[in-house]
Amino acid sequence: MLVHAIPKDAAYEFAADVRAGLTRAGQKELPSKYLYDDVGSALFEVISRLPEYGLTRADERLLRRHAREIVERVPGPVAIAELGSGSGHKTRWLLEAFCRRQHTSYYPIELSHSALVMCERELSDIDAIHIVGFEREYLDGLLEVAAYRRTGQDLFVLFLGSTIGNFDRPAGIKFLSQVRDILRPGDSLLLGTDLEKSESQLLRAYDDELGVTAAFNLNLLARVNRELQADFDLSHFRHVARINYQAHSIEMHLESTRRQMVTIPKAEVLVEFQDQETIWTESSHKYSADGIVEIARDAGFHCEVQWIDEQWPFAENLLIAE
C-alpha cells in the first residue's frame, strides 16, 4: 500500500494543544484525538471486543447484513474514502461487495500509522481492490482523495463507528458540512451513529469491568510522559465515566486523586491539580434516529435510508449530498 505520511510538525501541535488544554481557566481538557497513538489504537481495538461495548459489533453486523443493499443504492463507478479506518476489519464486507461489482479504489484516512498498516494487512487480499492510505487529519485527507477522483467517478465516504459522536453537536454539524463542501451533489456518505440507550448500559460500556477503557484513557497521560517528557504519576489519576444528560453524551475524565503538580518540559508548562479535579478527555454523543435526519439536513445531505441494529441501538445512515 502506498501511504502518504503525516507532516513533521505534529509534535509541536501536540505540545501546544496539551499546554492550551491544561492551562485553560475552568475545566481542564485534552483533545480526544490524542487518545489514538499506537498504544491507544491497540487498546481501542480491545475495547471494541469487550462484551460491555456493543457499538462496534452492531456497526459490523449492519454492514455485513446490508452490504449488498448499500452497494445497490450507491451506483458506480465510485471511489471509496474512509475517515478513520482503524484496522479496516468492519469495512471488509462492504469492500468485498463493491469489488464484486467493479475494480474499486479504497482510500483509508487515519492519523495512526500502525492502524493504516493493519488496515492494509486486513484488506489487501480482496480481489480487484486498490488501496492508498493517507496518514492525515480527516478533512485534509478527504481533500486529497477528492483531487484524485477520475471524471465520472462518484465519491462514497465512510464515517463509521459513531466517531461523529466524539464531536459536540454543533461541531458535528460543522464537520459534516465541511465534508459536504468537499463532495459533489449525488456523492454519498455512510454515517454510523450510536443511538440513545439506558444509563446502566452506557456506564458499563465506558467503564468496563476489566479496566481496558480506564487504561485507554490513562494512556493519554502516559503518552504526554513519553512524548513531552512529563512526570504524570498515573497511580494518582483515575478514569471516570460520567453521563451528561443535557448533552445526551457520556464523558470520560481523568480525575486527580490528590493535590499535585506536574511538569511537562516539552510543552514548557507546570500544571497544578486540585484533589478531585478532572481533565475532560472525551465525549461520546448518542442520537435519536430522527435527530440524525435533522443533523444531516443541516449539513447539506438528505438521509436516504437508515438501518437500525436489533441487539444494540445503533444506526447506519446513508446520506446523499444535495
Using the contact rule CB under 6 A, the part of the chain among 130-138, 158-166, 183-191, 272-280 near ligand AVI is 158-166
Please choose, from the candidates 68, 62, 66, 60, the residue with its C-alpha nearest in 3D space to the C-alpha of residue 88: 60
Closer Cβ to ligand AVI, 55 or 95, answer by number: 55
**Residues 29, 280 contacting (CB under 8 angstroms):** yes
Residue from 104, 163, 188, 193 touching ligand AVI (CB under 6 A): that is 163
If binding is defined by CB under 6 A, does position 96 make contact with ligand AVI? no
Residue from 165, 193, 219, 280 touching ligand AVI (CB under 6 A): that is 165
Q: How far is the CB of 182 from ligand AVI (least distance, A)?
A: 22
For 71, half-sphere exposure in the C-beta direction (CA atoms, 13 angstrom radius) is 18
Q: How far is the CB of 25 from ligand AVI (least distance, A)?
A: 26
If binding is defined by CB under 6 A, does position 161 make contact with ligand AVI? yes
Residues between 207 and 226 that touch ligand AVI (CB under 6 A): 213
The residue ranges of DSSP E strands in 17-144, in sequence order, are 28-29, 78-83, 104-110, 129-135
* Position of minimal CB gap to ligand AVI: 284
Closer Cβ to ligand AVI, 104 or 219, answer by number: 219
DSSP code per residue over 139-186: HHHHHHHHHHPPTT-EEEEEE-TTGGGGS-HHHHHHHHHHHHHHS-TT
If binding is defined by CB under 6 A, does position 104 make contact with ligand AVI? no
Using the contact rule CB under 6 A, the part of the chain among 151-159, 162-170, 174-182, 294-302 near ligand AVI is 162-170
Could you give the CA distance from residue 31 to residue 224 in angstroms, rounded to a whole number?
12
Residues between 33 and 52 that touch ligand AVI (CB under 6 A): 47
* Binding-site size, ligand AVI (CB under 6 A): 11
Closer Cβ to ligand AVI, 104 or 213, answer by number: 213
Helical residues (DSSP H) of 207-247, grouped into ranges: 212-228
DSSP code per residue over 282-318: EEEE-B-HHHHHHHHHHTTEEEEEEEE-SSS-EEEEE
What residues contact residue 245 under an 8 Å CB cut-off, 6+ apart? none
- Grid cell digits, residue 262: 506536574
* Helix (H) / strand (E) containing 244: strand 237-244
Residues between 252 and 291 that touch ligand AVI (CB under 6 A): 282, 284
**Which residues of the shown chain bind ligand AVI in the complex (CB under 6 A)?**
47, 55, 161-163, 165-166, 206, 213, 282, 284
